[in-house]
Amino acid sequence: MKRLILATRNANKVTELRAILEAAGLDVELVGADAYPEIPDVKETGVTFAENALLKAHALARATGFPAVADDSGLCVDVLNGAPGIFSARWAGRHGNDKANLDLLLAQLSDIAEEHRGAHFACAAALALPDGTERVVEGRLEGTLRHEPAGGGGFGYDPVLQPLGESRTCAELTAEEKNAISHRGKAFRGLVPVVRELLG
């Protein structure tokens, strides 16, 4: 069985990708970055989701000698010309403060009419081999932004993004419903033929 490392310490992401690989019948041992605690996290200095995903995947592949997958994702708002984008997790200044990020975004969009509240979640998933081979797959979840958060599930901007064709926000969907349509789910599923090609 070939080992594949996912550049995350988030157990939910590992579980999600593992299920996708198993459903595709791929004989791959997927482990998270927790399996290599001595390897430091990579600074995301790229200016696109794809660049950041590749930085993380290459760093882990070089450090471990195993193929590595990494993803980078965020919210892109039409009227903000695609922002917060790669700055989604630190939009309000401090990395990972979901409530502050959400409050700031809603304040910035408070006067924006319904028809101009289009947005999408974007995800780039990269696979890198120790020899430098790389592939990137991208996924999107299109939707509109609510004026107020709704739902207790998910994280980040999930409580305000309502997927197209849905009456609920991402935070009101079950984990299974969200994974079936999510930007990350689409990108991870797009990696299946890449894993099959490069890892056999």
| pLDDT at 120 (0 to 100) | 98
| pLDDT at 65 (0 to 100) | 96
Q: Please pick, among 27, 34, 41, 72, the residue that the annotation labels catalytic.
A: 72
- Determine if residue 9 is labeled as part of a ligand binding site: yes
Segments forming the whole domain that contains residue 25 = 2-199
Q: Domain containing 60 — which CATH number?
A: 3.90.950.10
* Angle, in degrees to the nearest 10, between helices 11-23 and 183-199: 60
| pLDDT at 24 (0 to 100) | 92
| pLDDT at 11 (0 to 100) | 86
Residue 145 sits at φ, ψ, to 5 deg, of: -100, 130
pLDDT tens for the chain, residues 1 to 200: 799 999 998 888 898 899 999 999 999 999 999 999 999 989 999 999 999 999 999 999 999 999 999 999 999 999 999 999 999 999 999 887 999 999 999 999 999 999 999 999 999 999 999 999 999 999 999 999 999 999 998 889 999 999 999 999 999 999 889 989 999 999 999 999 999 999 97
- Determine if residue 178 is labeled as part of a ligand binding site: yes
Quick count: other Cβ atoms within 10 Å of Cβ 20?
19
| Domains contained in the chain, number | 1
Quick count: other Cβ atoms within 10 Å of Cβ 122?
25
Annotated catalytic, 72?
Answer: yes
| pLDDT at 187 (0 to 100) | 97
Q: Indicate the DSSP class of residue 31.
A: E
Q: Which residues are bridge partners to 122 per DSSP?
A: 74, 140
- Determine if residue 156 is labeled as part of a ligand binding site: yes
| pLDDT at 155 (0 to 100) | 87
The number of helices, as runs of H, and strands, as runs of E, in the chain is 5, 6
- Determine if residue 147 is labeled as part of a ligand binding site: no
